[in-house]
Amino acid sequence: MVLLVQYTLIFASVLALVALGGCFSEHSGVINIGLEGIMVMGALGGALAMKFLPATTPGIVLFILIVLASVLVGMAFSLLLGFAAIHFNADQTLVGTALNLMGTAAAVVIVRAINVAENPDNVSSTVVYRQAKQVFLVKIGDFEFNWFMLIIVLAIIASHIVLYRTKFGLRLCACGEHPQAADSVGISVYRMRYAGVLISGALGGLGGLVYITAGVSEWKFENGVAGFGFLALAVMIFGQWRPVNIGLAALLFGFFRALSNVYTGFAPLVALKLPSSLYNMLPYIISLVVLAFISQKSRAPKAEGIPYDKGQR
Amino acid sequence: MDKKQKLLRNNAFQTVLASLICIVIGLIVGFVVLLIISPSGAGKAIIAIMKNFFYYPNAAAATKYFGTTLIKASALLMCALSVIFAYKVGLFNIGAAGQYVIGAGGCLYMALRFNLPWYICLIAGVLIAAAVGGISGALKAYLNVNEVISCIMLNWISLYSVNMLLSQVKDGSTPYTKLLFSYNKSAMLPTAGLNELFHNKYMTIGVPMAVIAAIIVWVVLQKTKFGFELKATGINKLAAKYCGMHEKRNIIVTMMISGGLAGFGAGIFYLSGIEQWMVQQTSVPGMGFNGIAAAFLGGLDPIGTIFASYFIQHITSGGTYVDTTTYCTQISDLISAFIIYLCAFVFFFKIWFNRYLDKKEEKSVKVKKGGRK
């Protein structure tokens, strides 16, 4: 039971972080399908930081450096999307798909190159970080508290305030609803969209880091992040592009994802004798059903996905 | 306008030019990555990727692996056609990957469980994949669910269901499905002598069938009323409805055809017996995603995509020939991912190129006028 709560919270944190990223990007008017790829790259940045930083580094510094590594890598990678979608009017879905493919391929190439350089016999794409991972965790009895569970609550509150209570947030939303109108009152649409994409890169990268440290202490990059970036998009839609709702939606999805990890611990579920693939499918089935019910009255930003053209009426 | 000008203005020419530029830049980026990993063997590695089967000095071996590349390219072509068909109707079918998976599951299950002949297996694969595509279409048409998201969810659902389904027909203790060759020969596609021509026993009529499918897709989209209706729905759903077209039905039919095409691709690949399904796969096979690359590299034209699919598969297969003690085979995935990224700039490139031609023309007209004075 404790394990179920722990996994639910940690998976919900990942989903909420990434979904918040998507939320910022879409409010600025850029659809970010590439969150999956951004997560992989962020995870890579964090994993390599955990691998190479000396174990003698004091805990708090280590924590900040690892987070910084994944955030910066995520932001740098998201710039590829920003560059193409904002300045070159590219098809955002296509660029996002390219980022997803590129993220996984690049991560595998980089990790393998590092592994082979260390030991010519090691051709795997796995990074091990058993030691450094401990800085994120605090043991409370059986429950393994992860600092990110707290950070995500703060992030949701901060996002809510930024989006609805600050000049920056309201301007960002204006660019996603009606960029021409925003431009006419002197807001730089390009700058706002870059800001949205960069924030999504930062949160997506961080989400990737949290995902690979949830429960495991090594990561095989060939697997990418198993569709978590896309689940986060479903969470964002379910949360109707609002930070607080996104947090609640993430809890629901996190619960079903956690169930597939720990269902063997529950006697009644084991007694049902359902194949494990069914539990793996569950989060995706739930999200499909939820989307079917909720999409009709969707409150998506009106101008999302449409490249901004200054000359358009 | 002289001949050269006309050629430069030609849309098809510009598309080909843009695709070639994408390929060249993609390969250069791949080369740079190889250089960073280890400068000494980078030149050899990039040549190995481009050479692919020419790696073998022996002509028979080379044609054999040429055949293997063709078989994989034909499946890739079908996935690319699936993406194109949907894209022409304004839908982004990222679900080609999942429809491909479910198609593979359908035909292999029919072949190994019920021992049915190849044509029934193939049809079963196509139908079930079309049904899955239809789900995304219906969700989009009636419930306004974004097709990209629903397709991605269906990709994972398809993967896990096929794993579950095919574990019933797997080969003893291995995670692979039974060999078609030894369990049900009748389910293998006929070879029509192609196997001897290519010295490759997996070479079947699937390859020419894929090329014919590309031509059919081109004809349907360009030359028929049905294709016109679908495209009109894609450009403006409301206008299509106003003209008396069934816009909702069109969206669903499009996704079904799109799914069917991907399922057909899976059928001709797995029923050739070249590979078995691994029932413990934890990631969706890349075929459908590479299909997106091939579709855009081919300029979203079914005929152009025939060549683009071959090229993408050529470098993907070529990746296996790099020196794996220093580099890894995924380098070619990286190259094709980068090529898709560059394809996003094609539209902008065309605008820029035409503007450049305009300026040049204006200049030459001015010079001529000046001369007359």
* pLDDT above 60 (res A197): yes
Q: Which residue has the tokens 């269906």?
A: B154
Q: Does A12 touch chain B (CB under 8 A)?
A: no
CB A47 within 8 A of CB A108: no
- Among residues of chain A, what percentage have pLDDT more than 90? 34
Q: A162-196 pLDDT, tens per residue? A: 999 999 999 999 998 998 888 889 889 999 999 99
Disruptive mutation site among B40, B46, B93, B145 for chain A (greatest number of A CBs within 10 Å): B145
3-state helix, strand, coil in chain A (%, to 5): 75, 5, 20
* A26, A32, A78, A102: best to mutate for the B interface, most B CBs within 10 A: A102
Pairing of strands A218-220, A126-128: antiparallel
Cβ distance A277 to B161 less than 8 Å, yes or no, reads yes
Q: Is the dihedral of CA A228, A230, A236, A240 positive or negative?
A: negative
Query: How much is the pLDDT for B281?
Result: 82
Q: What is the pLDDT confidence band of residue A313, given thresholds at 50, 70 and 90?
A: low
H or E element that contains A139: strand A137-140
Q: Taking 70 as the threshold, does the pLDDT of residue B284 lie above it?
A: yes
B177: which strand partners?
Answer: B170
Mean pLDDT of the B202-225 span: 91
Nearest to B283 among A33, A224, A288 (CB): A224
- pLDDT on residue B269: 92
Percent of chain B at pLDDT exceeding 70: 98
Model confidence band, residue B176 (pLDDT cutoffs 50, 70, 90): confident
Of A167-176, B75-84, B239-248, the poorest mean pLDDT is in: B239-248
ipTM (interface predicted TM): 0.85
Average per-residue pLDDT for chain B: 87
Q: Report the pLDDT value the prediction gives residue B371, as an integer from 0 to 100.
A: 59
What pLDDT is attached to residue A205? 94
Chain B residues touching residue A253 (CB < 8 angstroms): none
Q: Which of A284, A292, A298 sits opposite B157 (nearest CB)?
A: A284
Looking at residues B182-209, what average pLDDT do you find?
A: 81
pLDDT of res. A279: 85
Token reading at B36: 């960073």
Largest CA distance in chain A: 64
Task: Give the model's pLDDT for residue B265.
Answer: 95
Between CA A26 and CA A176 the distance in angstroms is 7
Amino acid at B199: H
- 3-state SS class at B108: helix
A243-268 pLDDT per residue, tens: 999 999 999 889 988 888 787 777 77
Taking residues A105-120, what's their average pLDDT?
85
Question: Taking a C-beta distance cutoff of 8 angstroms, is the pair B115, B187 a contact?
Answer: yes
Contact call for residues B252 and B92 (beta carbons, < 8 A): no
Q: How many residues does chain B have?
A: 373
Looking at residue A185, the DSSP 8-state letter turns out to be: T
Supply φ then ψ for residue B169, to 5 degrees.
Answer: -115, 30
**Residue B257 is which amino acid?**
I
How far is it, in rounded angstroms, from Cα B318 to Cα B324?
Answer: 12
Residues A201, A308: Cα–Cα separation, whole Å: 20
Q: C-alpha B57: how far from its chain's center?
A: 29
Residue B372 predicted with pLDDT over 70: no
Query: Rounded distance, CA A285 to CA A283, Å?
Result: 6
Torsion over CA of B253, B258, B259 and B260, rounded to 10 degrees?
90
B237: pLDDT strictly greater than 60 = yes
Q: What is the pTM of this model?
A: 0.88
